[in-house]
Structure 1
């Protein structure tokens, strides 16, 4: 894994802040570890509902994915890597996976494929 750059870290912080404001019935988690079919993976940001947190507490890694898992793209990410992670998070139980570019553009994926918007947060 290549070292994160400062812009990447700022994007993570911005996303966690937006999730905290728009979805108060849960927690935004930065660098959340999740057991997936391809091993333990760590999305850049996740959002877990209060119900998810009550069920999974301080498990590390989480045995299931929280409702939203977010990958912030870096220049060294391959499309294959991101597609693989997206499918792994969905298979682990995520309702949505967001793939966010350095420009802030967001793509939303569910088990049904790419969506026009998030059912949780319409705009970021």
Structure 2
């Protein structure tokens, strides 16, 4: 199934989970939790406060060599947005930063594959938020202690108000 067909299909519009496609155009669905959404929201909020040279988005569809993958969060610079525009069904190239937030259904192998696919599509950094809110940063050369693009990004995301 082509991404346009997925977007336009009336039965797929209001599902409570994220849809991606694999390399054969088959629909893959990943259920998300409330905790997942809280981490996602906090990361987007941080970018909105500190990433003024670009824009953050949630649920960012990116064409990869293995289908359209939907990043939980992505940050794109003004230059990227100027080049690619903002009115797209999906991006043919990855924004500079792609963030995935752990879901109970994600495996380590799946996250590793997504990281490699995003780098292949042009991402400069891949960030992973584990189930405890700990942030892990990497670039195409390997793991990073901190983000090279946003060194002030916290190493831990707190979602607990108690």
TM-score of the two chains, using structure 2 as the length reference: 0.74
**Whole-Å separation in 2 of the counterparts to 1:40 and 1:99:** 19
Residues 80-101 of structure 1: per-residue CA shift (max 9 Å, x gap) = 1000000000110000000111
Q: Is the 8 A contact 1:34 1:60 kept in 2?
A: no
Q: 1:102 Cα shift?
A: 2.0
TM-score of the two chains, using structure 1 as the length reference: 0.95
User: What stretches of structure 1 move > 4 A for 4+ residues in a row?
Assistant: none
Residues 68-91 of structure 1: per-residue CA shift (max 9 Å, x gap) = 000001121111100000000011
- Map residues 55-70 of structure 1 onto 2, 5 A cutoff: 55-57=83-85, 58-70=87-99
Task: Name the counterpart of 1:19.
Answer: 47
Q: Is the 8 A contact 2:56 2:76 kept in 1?
A: yes
> How many matched pairs?
124
CA RMSD of aligned residues (A): 1.0
Residue 132 of structure 2 aligns to a residue in which SS? Answer: coil
Matched, 1:8 2:44: no
Structure 1, unaligned stretches of length 5 or more? none
Structure 2, unaligned stretches of length 5 or more? 1-28, 155-162
